A and B are shown apart, each in its own frame.
Chain A
Amino acid sequence: MFVKKSFSGGVEVPHFKNTENIQTEKIGVPDEVIIPMQQHSGAPCKPTVKEGEPVKVGQVIGISESFISAPIHSSVSGTVADISSMIFPDGRYVATVVIKADGKQDIHEDVKPPICTNKEEFIEAVKNSGLVGLGGAGFPAHVKLNPPKDKNIDTLIINAAECEPFITSDYREIMENSADIMDGIDAVTKFIGVSNVIIGIEDNKPEAISLLKKLAAGKKGIDVKALRTRYPQGAEKMLIYALTGRKVPPGKLPMDVGVIVMNITSVGFVGRYLKDGMPLIKKRVTVDGSAVNRPSNVEALIGTKLSDVFDFCGGFKTEPFKIIMGGPMMGIAQYTLDAPVMKYTNALLAFDKTFGNVPPETACIRCGRCYRACPVNLMPLHINRAALVEDMDALHKYHTMDCIECGCCAYSCPARIPLVQSIRLGKTLIKKAQAKAKKDESQKDVKS
């Protein structure tokens, strides 16, 4: 019997790919864009522009000295109206540059196709493009593509799984920009020196699979593999296991097992950037959900306010009860429509009360569904208990830090216990304890 490639655990989620056959529409230039100085994991950037300064499309407006970081570019031409700060989901304040757009979209003189002849130039070009992982995590791409010398990389995995419900932005990228994707794959394999390419894609997208197979047929070393549709198939570690059988140990990165994983939209962007040199200033976003009038895929400039995006999609049918940036499984609820679209935003979902409301929590009945659902074989129920009573020994014992926060446990819980939240609390407690131990240690050193 033929068994589709997959992993253990996970949950079956409804697909809701309502927007998969809707051509991407471009949102016009908004009056004002809000560009946060952190749109990647790593160190935040410092603004390089001042209030009142004119800026052009593609101009660098934020850089950082730190290695794990990505520069930030202006997505419009206009003048800098304000440099303020906005609150991020994790509670940090991050500097933001607010730009009043003049609507002319003059392109900055630095925007020109990069010249790449070797690996160093290619990495530098990727860095200058401001590319981060567009799948949702936002890890700077130039760091990912430049592993230390002692890591032997033999496989490039292109992540086209798109396992979260509703989101179709990667699917539209395949259907609309398949040529760019192929160019991107060619460039990455040529400069990074990887011969083996696997494109992993869930089997609920048959048209995309046949299209990619047709394009890959003429090329050597590119393999398109269909994966079983099961959440979280697109999680890095699950995907690597499903496609290569290699297990990434806890706390390690894909490069430790000789793999680089890139999102398909990121690869498509690399292909486009090498041709026109335009840095990452726009992103395809799936707008969907039961409260949205006209679900669609839109291409928004980075920094466009959520209210502008929803207005473009016909506003709300009913009063939205919950607005989520990202997928319904891992996305983060928003409390204001003044937040901007960011580099790694792939979906904006607005739900009404019947769809978005979670029933109240009841007592745990110890059914063990969360154990079976966990793709990294943790026991969420025990971590939940340990986190709530701050049992630090148990938090370590149950490997709290290995959780990938995919949300399968909370999704499958019949008692509707917010398990992911308590696991995150457990992680916070561990980090706090570690910081305190470090502080005590340094104080001890000072005393002695």
Chain B
Amino acid sequence: MLQEILIPVAILGGLGLFFGLCLSYASKKFGVKVDERIGKVRDVLPGANCGACGFTGCDGYAEAVVSGNADINKCTVGGRDVMVSIGEILGKDTSTSSVECKVGRVMCGADNGKTRTKYDYSGIKDCTAATALYGGPTACMYGCIGMGDCAKACPFGAIVVERGVARVLAAKCKGCGKCVEVCPRNIIKIVPKEKQYTVRCNNPQRGNFVMKVCKVGCIGCRKCSKVCEAGAITNDGFVARINPELCTNCGKCMEVCPNHVINKYPVCSDEGPAAVNE
């Protein structure tokens, strides 16, 4: 009676022992060495998978930063705290480096009534779908359509559409660039947060064409580029572009702009541009 129980137990136990030894040998012999720091770095990253660092999500960045292919200050979503944590894990000095905070800026200021419309649009509320019909209902082919593809794409809820134009809430924006990818008009630009001045127009056509379609468009008069002491403003076609690397935040361009196209944005707050077009 006892034998009938003991024999199967012994057989199964023996088999279990045998396979266990096989598996432990295999894991030693064929095991892939994973740097345990990758897991740790991955745990401190915010997990938004936004791609602002330039890698495929947080896993990609963790791998790159541990293997030394990326700097530790690339995660703009986590900011300084995350950089310090990564530095601790990797044993790197974090006192001198800082995270460059970036923010999206919408290069169009033509809210309700300031731009002409070509036709009354009826259909699904989606910028990409609207541009498929004669390039969109706005008369300006370079301006914001205001149906909120960017707001839909934003993983942080940092974009709202107000009075027909998208607006970035600077406090929430992490500068990941998801909105830049989806905008069919390509009017969102990622700039460093501390640079306060932005040209709110993207229409490179001549001034007379711009004035035909919009009251607040850049006419390419070049007053701003002449007054800029840092030489940060260049004209791309007939639209002014501020190079954020050279801009010194002096604000002279805003003062001379006849159409009030250059606007000042407060640093890191949800307010819109300080000077609203009137």
Contact residues of A with B, CB < 8 Å? 87-91, 332-333, 335-336, 358, 388, 418, 421-422, 424-425, 428-429
Our pick among A87, A91, A333 for the contact of B132 (Cβ within 8 Å) is A91
A91 touches B134 (CB 8 A): yes
Q: Please tell me if the beta carbons of B128 and A425 are within 8 angstroms of each other in the complex.
A: yes
Chain A positions within 8 Å of B122 at CB level: 358
Give per-residue flags for B170-211: 1 if the beta carbon is below 8 A from chain A beta carbons, else 0: 000000000000000000000000000000000000000000
Minimum distance in angstroms from A135 CB to a CB of chain B: 22
Question: What residues of chain B lie closer than 8 Å to A89, measured between beta carbons?
Answer: 133-134
A421 interface neighbour in B123, B131, B134, B135, Cβ under 8 Å = B123
Across-interface contacts of B124 in A (CB, < 8 A): 388, 418, 421-422, 425
How far is B136's CA from A90's CA once the two chains are assembled, in angstroms? Answer: 9
B-side contacts of A425, CB under 8 Å: 124, 126, 128-129, 132
For the complex of A and B, 8 pairs with smallest distance between CB atoms: A91-B135, A335-B119, A425-B129, A418-B123, A421-B123, A335-B118, A91-B131, A87-B134
Q: Can you name the residue of chain A whose Cβ is closest to the Cβ of B153? A: A390
Residues of chain A within 8 A (CB-CB) of B129 are 421-422, 424-425, 428
Query: What secondary structure prevails in chain B residues at the interface with A?
Result: loop
Given contacts A421-B124, A424-B129, 16 further A-B contacts (CB under 8 A): A87-B141, A88-B134, A89-B133, A90-B132, A91-B132, A91-B134, A91-B136, A332-B133, A335-B118, A358-B122, A388-B126, A418-B124, A422-B124, A424-B132, A425-B124, A425-B128
Interface centre among B128, B131, B141 (most CB of A within 10 A): B128
Q: Which residue of A lies closest to B182 (CB)?
A: A390
CA distance A90 to B135 in the complex (A): 7
Residues of chain B from 45 to 95 with CB closer than 8 A to chain A in the complex: none
**Which residues on B sit within 8 Å (CB–CB) of A90?**
132
**What are 10 A-B residue pairs whose CB atoms fall within 8 Å in the complex?**
A88-B134, A89-B133, A91-B133, A91-B135, A336-B118, A421-B129, A422-B124, A424-B132, A425-B128, A425-B129
Interface size class of B (residues with CB under 8 A): 10 to 19
Contacts of A87 in B (CB 8 A): 134-135, 141
For residue B26, give the distance in angstroms from its CB to the closest CB of chain A. Answer: 32
> Could you say which residues of chain A place their CB within 8 Å of the CB of B135?
87, 91
Shortest distance from the beta carbon of B75 to any chain A beta carbon, whole Å: 22
| Chain A residues closer than 8 Å to B134, beta-carbon distance | 87-89, 91, 335
Chain A residues near B126 (CB, 8 Å)?
388, 425
A358 CB contacts on chain B under 8 angstroms: 122
* Nearest-Cβ distance from residue B249 to partner chain A, whole angstroms: 35
Query: How many Å lie between the Cα of A89 and that of B119 in the bound state?
Result: 13
Contacts of A428 in B (CB 8 A): 128-129, 132
Report the separation of the CA atoms of residues A246 and B116 in the bound assembly, to the nearest whole angstrom: 51
Would you give the shortest CB distance from B118 to chain A, in whole angstroms? 5
A419's closest neighbor in chain B, by CB? B124
Which of chain B's residues has its CB closest to A418's CB? B123
Set of chain A residues within 8 Å of B132, measured between Cβ atoms: 90-91, 424-425, 428
Chain B residues closer than 8 Å to A388, beta-carbon distance = 124, 126
Say yes or no: B118 contacts A429, CB within 8 Å: no
Q: Which residue of A lies closest to B122 (CB)?
A: A358
Q: Give every chain A residue within 8 A of B141 (Cβ-Cβ).
A: 87
Taking the closest CB of chain A, its distance from the CB of B182, in whole angstroms, is 9
Give complex CA distance A336, B128 in Å. 22
- Shortest Cβ gap from A400 to chain B (Å): 14
Question: Chain A residues near B119 (CB, 8 Å)?
Answer: 333, 335
With both chains docked as a complex, state the minimum distance between the C-beta of A116 and any C-beta of chain B, in angstroms: 41
Shortest C-beta distance, B233 to chain A (Å), equals: 28
Which of B118, B133, B141 has its CB near the most chain A CB atoms (within 10 A)? B133
What's the Cα separation between A358 and B136 when bound, in Å? 20
Within 8 A of A (CB), among B96-143: 118-119, 122-124, 126, 128-129, 131-136, 141
In the assembled complex, the CB of B138 is this many whole angstroms from the nearest CB of chain A, namely 12
A176–B70 Cα gap in the complex (Å)?
75
CB distance from A323 to the nearest CB of B (A): 10
Closest-by-CB residue of B relative to A436 is: B181
Find out whether the CB atom of A429 lies under 8 angstroms from the CB atom of B128: yes
- With a cutoff of 8 Å between Cβ atoms, the chain A residues found around residue B136 in the complex are 91
Q: Which residues of B have CB within 8 Å of A424?
A: 129, 132
Q: How far is the CA of A391 from the CA of B266 in the complex (A)?
A: 37
Nearest CB of chain A from residue B277's CB, rounded to whole Å = 27
Q: Please, which residue of chain A has its CB at the minimum distance from the CB of B152? A: A390
In the bound complex, what is the Cα–Cα distance between A89 and B134 (angstroms)? 4
Bound complex: CA A18 to CA B30 (Å) = 80
Closest to A427 in B: B132
A435–chain B nearest beta-carbon distance, Å: 12
Nearest CB of chain A from residue B97's CB, rounded to whole Å: 26
Q: In the bound complex, how far is the Cα of B133 from the Cα of A358, in angstroms?
A: 17
Q: Which residues of A contact B128 (CB under 8 A)?
A: 425, 428-429
Q: How far is the CA of A336 from the CA of B117 in the complex (A)?
A: 12
A88 to B134, CA, bound (A): 6
* Most B CB within 10 A of own CB, among A87, A91, A336: A91
Q: How far is the CA of A422 from the CA of B124 in the complex (A)?
A: 7
> What's the least CB distance linking A117 to chain B, in Å?
46
Write out the residue numbers on chain B whose beta carbons fall within 8 Å of the beta carbon of A88.
Answer: 134
Measured in the bound complex, the distance between the Cα atoms of B136 and A409 in whole Å is 24
Tell me the smallest distance from the CB of A128 to a CB of chain B, in Å: 32
